[in-house]
Structure 1
Amino acid sequence: MTKRKVSNPLALAVLALLAERPMHPYEMSSTLRERAKEESIKLNYGSLYSVVESLRRHGLIDVRETIREGRRPERTVYAITENGRFELVDWMSELLSVPVKEYTQFEAALTLIPVINPDDVQRLLETRLIRLDAEIATVGGVMDEMARRGMPYLWAIEADYVRALRRAEREFVRDLAEKIRNGTLEGVDLWRRAHEGGELPSEEDWMRASEHLRRVK
């Protein structure tokens, strides 16, 4: 991936907004919230100001004007520069075309899963399934409501992506929980005995157990 002068996803959202029209930071924030973009891009007002200043410092946006509305404080309106437009298109092109390694919390939990008793893991995964089903239903309801209001699918495309990810995760979690329950998960017997004995096996123990299973099969 290209090393960006400003790499925060919020910066990408700011560039996209300013590609539409000049805005001041408060308008950027309210527009992102109105469009529910905080569901996909972490947003808080303090970090937005820092991102805007960083983009300005690197010549990707510039000050268009300073305005005052009634008794409100002055607000600085920003506009995207030509360099900013190039950065926006280049950055978006890379994100859409190049898969990257993303470190998710669930993946971190899976790689450390032997520290929890397998029966407890099974119950926790079944709880996760309930929550995944609820999330999938919620996203589906939002998409149905948007369609009912005549909003184009393009406006909900990130929600559909999230739903697809959750559906795939649900199938994985359901399969893993079932394999633990019925004892067909490779290594589950060693995993269970380790917790019954009160001492987790080393990586070498796991490797020897796996090699033994392969010879038996």
Structure 2
Amino acid sequence: MPENLHSSINQILEGKQLSISAITRELKEIGVNEHRLVMTGYLRALRDMKILDEVNIPPSKVYKMIDGKEDHPQADVYALIAREIKHFDQNVGLPLTVYVITSILDRPVFKEELLKMGFTSKNISDYLSRPGHMIRESRNENIREYISGITKIIIPPADPAYEADLMSSDIIKDANCLLVKMLRLSLDMSGLTPRTKRTTIADFG
């Protein structure tokens, strides 16, 4: 069982309540693959420790954070984008990611960073070979300075960097949605949103 399982569950349950199957599915999306029976026991243990609330919504049970028990570790921008970009059309995933990450970091994004967010070298080269692509390789004169200033990950000395180029209004609209979702996942929203809302079991997966 991964050491960060508890933190991963906290992140998934931030501001919502989910069934065991939905939690297991979302964990798998971020690379944590645990059997449903294992997750059942683990979630019930968290319930017994008063870390999670268990709510009976027939035919399932759903889990949510107990007020005041949230653990809010510093969010990793790469992990947040990698998780949320999957919900957008794959044809806009790369330019959307480049636009958002360069806006956040106020510099071009390096290939190594894009790989960390789930893209491959082939994804990048294939996209750049298409007509009308919306990103370009950066010719920023401060590229070497940016590389030396990045300490969170290792950027190869000759790593190419990319920046947005002629973003469409649809990409900008998607970027706003993505940034709002990332902000919600990064902040402590407890006490600011309704405790309950009208839901059906379909909302919980």
TM range (shorter): 0.3 to 0.5
TM-score by length of 1: 0.35
TM-score by length of 2: 0.37
Q: Which structure has the larger Rg?
A: 1
Higher relative contact order (CA 8 A, sep 6+): 2
More helix by share: 1
